[in-house]
Amino acid sequence: MRHRRRPVLAVASLGLCALLASAGLAVAAEPSGGAATEPSAGAAAAAVTPLTASNFRYTLSETPSSLVSALDAALPNVSMSTVADDGNRTPSCGSAPSVTHRTAYYCWNSGDQGTSAWYPQGITTSSDAYGSGTYEGKRINLVSWYDHADDGIDKGVRISVSNLSASAAAPPYRHILLVEPSGTTGSPSYEPVDIHAGGIMWYGNLLYVPDTSGGFRVFDLDHLWRVSTGDSSAVGRQRDGSYHAFNYKYVLPQTARFTDSTVGGYAQLRHSSVSLDRTSTPDSVIVSEYRSPSDVDAGAQVRTVRVPIDYRDRYLKPASDGIVKATEAYRTDLESVQGSTAVDGEFFFSQSDGSDHSNPNSDGDLHTFAAPSGALVRHGNALTVGAEDLSYDPTRDYLWSLGEYPGYRWVYAADASSF
């Protein structure tokens, strides 16, 4: 059915009660999944418990502007549209993904489809960046990948820039590298960003990437830099004064971070995924935790929070006392959550279900929850195997997700209102 507009509520604590976890999924650690068992067929998975939202908090710190300016002076600045037009890879899909209410899909080239050196995780679109749906006149999707190689060189996180304006079915794309400025203003450099990048969220000129145990890293698209290529092992400023990034042509620097904390006895929130909700007032950020089935069985909580964001400076929005606080929070105890978002007060959660692509019961599940008092409802096998992050495009009612496993890495959208 079509979504009805619901008010977004700041929820007071109703206490922490023991909940039923959704039944029986079995996967391994967050990055790569494992063997699966099928959950029960029942639609309603569990009740949901509201939490005291204001107990989840964030503190802003910024990269010294002098260091960013020094790198601006040392490196050519380019626009996102320039990068989008400079795609050097062409997708090729061998088959279509099995996705409930599928509306769109595309893939990667054969090398990216099969590599075990990088795993895709997060997705965001130019409809997150601006309500018009485009950025610098182009419809663009961004996908985060984390370095999974065991070659002694940690390259951190790369971002795929896919130009859907050029082709919706086979958008040309290019990878860029996330970096953190380092060094001094007299000798500025940068380093890889060593995080899991389980989600990604684009808002105006800023890109938010969750740091699992540390909150958010924030990257500024107004400082996209072109660097030298030809050396796949070099990163940062070299002795000859050149700048490299493991043979990537463009780098995107971290310019701020939001470090999370809690009060009231709450455990620190695990920042496993992030998405933007443009249907709330004000716009807001949805954060969810990944916990394995064994974690949940051992009593670990699984929580989701909403944090307001300010359209003027693109930063998380402080409350009247100057402190950035969540305005909505729930305990779901839903295992293996890889992504989440919210649309008109209804929450969506993607759930991985193992890596056995030959078993249809390993396909990812989608769960919905009508806040603040509904139960989780399971839409079994609605997503692909290895389902990851979620992002909602309100201009087309597309609910985007993607698969992480080699050979099964579709990027796809479903009709959100059909769930």
As a whole number, mean pLDDT of residues 184-188 equals 97
Please report the pLDDT score of residue 356 as a whole number. 79
| Residue 14 within any structural domain of the chain | no
Do the domain assignments include residue 21? no
> According to DSSP H, which parts of 55-149 are helical?
65-74, 80-84, 110-114, 126-129
Number of domain units in the chain: 1
* pLDDT over threshold 80, residue 58: yes
Domain annotation covers residue 36:
no
Under 8 Å between Cβ of 332 and 302: yes
pLDDT at 154: 93
- Percentage with pLDDT > 70 across the chain: 89
3-state secondary structure of 162: strand
What is the pLDDT at residue 355? 80
Q: How far apart are CA 31 and CA 350, in angstroms?
A: 14
The CATH number given to whatever domain includes residue 177 is 2.120.10
Contact 417, 3 (CB under 8 A): yes
Torsions phi, psi for 352 (to 5 deg):
-75, 155
Instruction: Please report the DSSP string for 290-350 in residue order.
Output: ---HHHHHTT---EEEEEEB-TTT-SBPB-TTS-EE-SEEEE---TTEEEEEEETTEEEEE
In a domain, 129, yes or no: yes
381 lies in a domain?
Answer: yes
Please tell me the predicted confidence (pLDDT) of residue 298. Answer: 95
**106, part of any domain:** yes
**Cβ atoms 318, 335 nearer than 8 A:** no
| Mean per-residue pLDDT, 130-153 | 95
Single-letter amino acid code for the residue at 185: T
- 329, 50 contact by CB (below 8 A): yes
For residue 49 the two structure tokens come to 């418990």
Residues 6+ apart with CB under 8 A from 7: 345
pLDDT, mean of residues 139-151:
95
The pLDDT, as a whole number, for residue 12 is 34
Q: What is the pLDDT of residues 272-284, one digit of tens each?
A: 999 999 999 999 9
User: For the segment 291-340, what is each residue's pLDDT rounded down to a tens digit?
Assistant: 999 999 999 999 999 999 999 999 999 999 999 999 999 999 999 999 99
Does residue 33 have a pLDDT over 80? no
**Domain membership flag for residue 75:** yes
Q: What mean pLDDT is reported for the chain?
A: 90
Chain centre distance of CA 170: 22
pLDDT digits (tens, 9 = 90+) for 369-404: 999 988 999 999 999 999 999 999 999 999 999 999
Q: What's the whole-model pTM score?
A: 0.89
Radius of gyration of the chain (CA): 20
Find the domain containing 326 and state its range: 44-418
pLDDT digits (tens, 9 = 90+) for 217-231: 999 999 999 999 999
Residue 271 lies in a domain: yes
Residue 45 has pLDDT above 80, yes or no: no
Position 366 pLDDT exceeds 90: yes
Under DSSP, the state recorded for 138 is: B
State the pLDDT at residue 399: 98
CA 98 to chain centre: 22
Exposure on the CB side of residue 224, measured as CA atoms within 13 A = 20
Distances (CA, A) of 237 to 226, 240, 256, 290, 300: 13, 8, 21, 36, 43
